[in-house]
Chain A
Amino acid sequence: MGPLIPQEIITGQWDFVIALLIGAAFGFILEASGFSSSRNIAGVFYGYNFVVLRVFFTAMIVAMVGLMYFSYFGWIDIDLVFVLPTYLNSMLLGGFLMGLGFVIGGFCPGTSYTAVAIGKLDGLVFAIGFLIGVFIFGESFPYFEDFYTANNLGNITIGEMFGISNDWVAFLFVVMAIVAFYVTWLIEKKVRKNMTAYKFE
């Protein structure tokens, strides 16, 4: 049955209405979870607030396990679900730069939109910086075009990479998530005890 749009079960202008609604739900969940605050987000790097890890990992395992069940019940043709292709060199550099940008800026693009939406100027400056970064990349693209497409492994999945089925990948992520939830809960308790300066804003 699914995915609906690639199989043209839903067509035409409805696309954009759906995109708007999905986007709105996304923004609502991000803001309601506390991601409109950079100090909540950056807490993951200093141990005083692991909300990012909790929301992120929970969402990931729910979607992973959900996809496997949907596929098992025949509700979705998993081969039609987009697997982000792996360009090894470029993505390693990208992850590096984003990690650095994350700990300095305290936002990622999606969370910065919700920060702007509730009046945070630091979110606005981050979003403008983000736009400038994309522009810098676009303007200098001709100089590193080869690097950008080097070591293309194609649409390879984690399971294919390590020679196991993706059911097992989903299972392992669930186990790792539960361990991470417990360990970070212990760390957070310890760090917060010694910390008085941090207040939610």
Chain B
Amino acid sequence: MNTETDKKHQPRYINPYFGGILLGLLLLATFFIAGRGLSASGAVKLGVVSVVNMIAPEHAANNPYYSKFIPADGSSPLYNWLIFGAIGTFFGGMLSGAIFGRLKKFRVEHSPKISAKTRLIAAGAGGILFGIGSQFGRGCSSGAALSGTASFSYGGLLVMLLMFGIGYVFAYFFRKLWI
């Protein structure tokens, strides 16, 4: 990426510190309005609960985890702040992609050293681990690590330190996926 042509092909991202300030102000505004921070994984959790509840309502009611998130008044678990937030996140991302010229046809992004198939297998495996981990962690990078730590939660700090720390510990073993 030292040549001029390469520079031309670089997507235009905003300055990361500027992005961070915007994200911090958004998080602060969210604390001010809602009394709690940003979330991403909660919507998927409610989605899973909702589907299980639809297909096997008795099974969902008997499961001590699912049953926590099924509203007692019989309304849908989907009618929730977290779901609307996640829908917004999707469309906000799409809007930014459209503005900066990154909204394109379906594609797989991967290191030139691995095939698209390897990348997809890794993405799926990482997703599964992240899905299980986020439930143990009471939230993901958004809810626990970022919002948790920013609201001074000790647990949020632990999740953040472990998430990045373990990433570094195992980075060597998975370097072929990236570099």
List the interface of chain A (C-beta within 8 A of B).
2-6, 10, 15-16, 18-34, 36-40, 42-46, 48, 51, 54-64, 66-67, 70, 75-76, 80-88, 90-123, 125-139, 141-142, 145, 148, 153, 155-161, 166, 169, 181, 192, 195-201
A37 to B65, CA, bound (A): 33
Verify A26–B26 contact, CB threshold 8 A: yes
Q: Contact string, B44-56, partner A, CB cutoff 8 A, digits 1/0?
A: 1101110010000
Measured between beta carbons, the chain A residues less than 8 angstroms from B129 are 97-98, 100-101, 104-105, 133
In the assembled complex, how far is the CB of residue B13 from the closest CB belonging to chain A, in whole angstroms? 4
Measured between beta carbons, the chain A residues less than 8 angstroms from B145 are 56
Known A-B contacts A32-B14, A94-B137; A24 and B44 likewise in contact (beta carbons under 8 Å): no
Known A-B contacts A27-B90, A138-B52, A157-B153; A118 and B102 likewise in contact (beta carbons under 8 Å): yes
- 25 A-B contact pairs sorted by A residue (CB < 8 Å): A4-B33, A19-B82, A22-B26, A31-B93, A60-B146, A62-B27, A67-B152, A84-B144, A84-B151, A92-B158, A95-B137, A95-B166, A98-B129, A101-B127, A103-B170, A119-B103, A120-B107, A122-B110, A122-B123, A129-B123, A129-B128, A130-B134, A134-B134, A156-B154, A199-B10
In the assembled complex, how far is the CB of residue A173 from the closest CB belonging to chain B, in whole angstroms? 8
Contact of A58 among B1, B21, B108, B141 (CB under 8 A): B21
Chain A residue at smallest Cβ distance from B17: A58
CB contacts under 8 Å to A, within B129-156, are 129-156
Measured between beta carbons, the chain B residues less than 8 angstroms from A100 are 126, 129, 133, 166-167, 170
Chain B residue at smallest Cβ distance from A200: B10
A29 to B31, CA, bound (A): 17
List the interface of chain B (C-beta within 8 A of A).
1, 6, 9-11, 13-14, 16-17, 19-38, 40-41, 44-45, 47-49, 52, 63-66, 81-82, 84-97, 99-100, 102-113, 119-120, 122-171, 174-175, 177-179
Known A-B contacts A106-B178, A148-B136; A117 and B94 likewise in contact (beta carbons under 8 Å): yes
User: Which 3 pairs, one residue from A and one from B, show the smallest C-beta to C-beta distance?
Assistant: A105-B126, A133-B131, A129-B127
Contact of A45 among B19, B33, B122, B171 (CB under 8 A): B171
Verify B109–A104 contact, CB threshold 8 A: no
A59 to B11, CA, bound (A): 22
A86 to B152, CA, bound (A): 11
Chain B residue at smallest Cβ distance from A37: B109
In the assembled complex, how far is the CB of residue B98 from the closest CB belonging to chain A, in whole angstroms? 8
Contact of A3 among B19, B22, B31, B134 (CB under 8 A): B31
Verify A197–B179 contact, CB threshold 8 A: yes
Verify B155–A64 contact, CB threshold 8 A: no
**B16, B81, B89, B166 — which one has the most chain A CB atoms within 10 A of its CB?**
B89
In the assembled complex, how far is the CB of residue B77 from the closest CB belonging to chain A, in whole angstroms? 12
Contact of B171 among A39, A92, A103, A118 (CB under 8 A): A103
Verify A160–B154 contact, CB threshold 8 A: yes
Verify B1–A198 contact, CB threshold 8 A: yes
Chain B residue at smallest Cβ distance from A62: B24
Known A-B contacts A36-B97, A199-B1; A56 and B20 likewise in contact (beta carbons under 8 Å): yes
Measured between beta carbons, the chain A residues less than 8 angstroms from B131 are 101, 129-137
**B13, B63, B132 — which one has the most chain A CB atoms within 10 A of its CB?**
B132
In the assembled complex, how far is the CB of residue A23 from the closest CB belonging to chain B, in whole angstroms? 2
Verify B89–A27 contact, CB threshold 8 A: yes
Known A-B contacts A34-B13, A95-B159; A66 and B47 likewise in contact (beta carbons under 8 Å): no
Chain A residue at smallest Cβ distance from B131: A133
Measured between beta carbons, the chain B residues less than 8 angstroms from A33 are 13-14, 16, 19-20, 23
